[in-house]
């Protein structure tokens, strides 16, 4: 299958100013040469801890940040060099839903205006047609028609997230970036939103980039999972494989740290020591080596590259072929 979106060697450095004009400082390597592909109608999940670069990746795809190096191909065209009509078209095709539905909706706009705004700015639709599109979108995300005339504060968190989803769908995008879409919601509401997102993907053929802390939710939603550590992808493969037979020592530790769904599953497995080092000055060689339980002498010298092993792509010297 041809990819809808493909990232090649995507890199984003944030220079850290030290001295006059910010010269002489280092740079935070937030995303460092990552490559991945998202196929139409499929979900790529990204997992990793704070500072691993998953939100920067989302911002790069949304063109909220410009990459330092690398390219993003959408339908085969490099969007990092787009402008004018091409950029306009790209922005319509890719939309986002963020974590906090209390921050992402304007408190001064009625729901109808929030959902209609992209239709008016991008499609230049007129009154009656806008109204019918808004009504259809509200129906798609499971909100009553009367929601149209209310303000965001009149809704609960789960309903607000439905409004945010309706707005993201207004322009019939082909890829939706979901950055922690259920973390701010009550436990009993999360399943509603996850089910809605899966139904929408099936009915509308949407592709998702799903970013979340909750590993079980990512595994539930994704076809492919990429595991990031300090700006690098350390493992990528089919969701079932990564979740049930993680190959990289970091992935193994991450999934071992996931909370059990039943007391009998409670494992006292590998608990990683130490914390994630600063991305300003990442460790030499493999970035995970200072915390790795299976570290070898070469790990501190040579940085491992992604290679295929055990059905997934993994960046670890344990899987080097002799």
Q: Which is nearer to other proteins, 204 or 238 (CB)?
A: 238
Q: Does 174 bind other proteins (CB under 8 A)?
A: no
Pick the stretch among 57-65, 75-83, 173-181, 258-266 that binds other proteins (CB under 8 A): 258-266
Could you tell me the CA-to-CA distances from 75 to 61, 86, 166, 254 in Å, in that order?
Answer: 13, 12, 24, 33
- List 82, 140, 204, 276, residue binding other proteins (CB under 8 A): 276
- List 272, 295, 296, 318, residue binding other proteins (CB under 8 A): 272
CB of 55 to other proteins, least distance (A): 14
Segment 3-42, which members bind other proteins (CB under 8 A)? none
Q: What does the alpha-carbon distance between residue 149 and residue 173 come to, in Å, rounded to a whole number? A: 25
Asked whether the CA dihedral 104, 69, 281, 319 is positive or negative, the reply is: positive
The pair of three-digit structure tokens given for residue 271, joined into one six-digit string: 């608990």
Pick the stretch among 56-64, 145-153, 188-196, 301-309 that binds other proteins (CB under 8 A): 188-196
In 3D space, the residue among 169, 224, 223 whose CA is nearest the CA of residue 196 turns out to be 169
Pick the stretch among 144-152, 165-173, 180-188, 309-317 that binds other proteins (CB under 8 A): 180-188
According to DSSP, the residues that pair with 154 across neighbouring strands are none
- List 114, 209, 219, 233, residue binding other proteins (CB under 8 A): 219
- Residues sharing a CB contact under 8 Å with residue 98, sequence separation 6 or more, in sequence order: 104, 164, 179, 180, 181
CB of 159 to other proteins, least distance (A): 8
Segment 134-173, which members bind other proteins (CB under 8 A)? 156, 158-159
CA 152, 153, 157: angle at the middle one, nearest 5? 80
> Could you tell me whether strands 43-47 and 224-229 are parallel, antiparallel, or unpaired per DSSP bridges?
parallel
Per CB under 8 A, residues contacting other proteins are 49-50, 156, 158-159, 186-192, 194-195, 198, 213-217, 219-220, 239-240, 243-244, 253-266, 268, 271-273, 275-276
């Amino acid at each position: 299958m041809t990819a809808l979106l493909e990232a090649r060697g995507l890199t984003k450095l944030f220079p850290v100013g030290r001295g006059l004009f910010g010269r002489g400082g280092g740079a935070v390597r937030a995303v460092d040469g990552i490559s991945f592909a998202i196929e139409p109608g499929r979900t790529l999940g990204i997992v990793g801890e704070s500072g691993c670069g998953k939100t920067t990746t989302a911002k790069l795809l949304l063109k909220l940040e410009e990459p330092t190096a690398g390219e993003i191909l959408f339908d085969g065209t490099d969007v990092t060099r787009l402008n004018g009509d091409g950029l306009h078209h790209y922005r319509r095709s890719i939309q986002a839903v963020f974590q906090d539905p209390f921050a992402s909706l304007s408190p001064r706009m009625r729901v109808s205006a929030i959902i209609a705004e992209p239709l008016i700015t991008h499609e230049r639709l007129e009154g009656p047609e806008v109204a019918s599109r808004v009504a259809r979108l509200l129906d798609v995300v499971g909100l009553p028609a009367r929601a149209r005339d209310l303000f965001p504060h009149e809704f609960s968190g789960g309903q607000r997230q439905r409004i945010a989803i309706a707005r993201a769908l207004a322009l019939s995008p082909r890829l939706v970036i979901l950055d922690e879409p259920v973390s701010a919601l009550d436990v009993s509401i999360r399943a509603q939103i996850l089910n809605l997102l899966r139904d929408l993907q099936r009915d509308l053929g949407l592709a998702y980039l799903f970013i979340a802390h909750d590993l079980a939710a990512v595994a539930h939603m994704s076809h492919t999972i990429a595991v990031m550590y300090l700006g690098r992808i350390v493992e990528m493969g089919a969701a079932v494989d990564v979740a049930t037979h993680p190959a990289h020592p970091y992935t193994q530790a991450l999934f071992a740290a996931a909370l059990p769904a039943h007391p009998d599953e409670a494992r006292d497995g590998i608990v990683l020591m130490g914390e994630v080092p600063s991305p300003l000055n990442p460790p030499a060689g493999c970035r995970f080596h200072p915390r790795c339980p299976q570290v070898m002498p070469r790990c501190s010298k040579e940085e491992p590259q992604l290679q295929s092993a055990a059905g997934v792509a993994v960046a670890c010297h344990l899987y080097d072929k002799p």
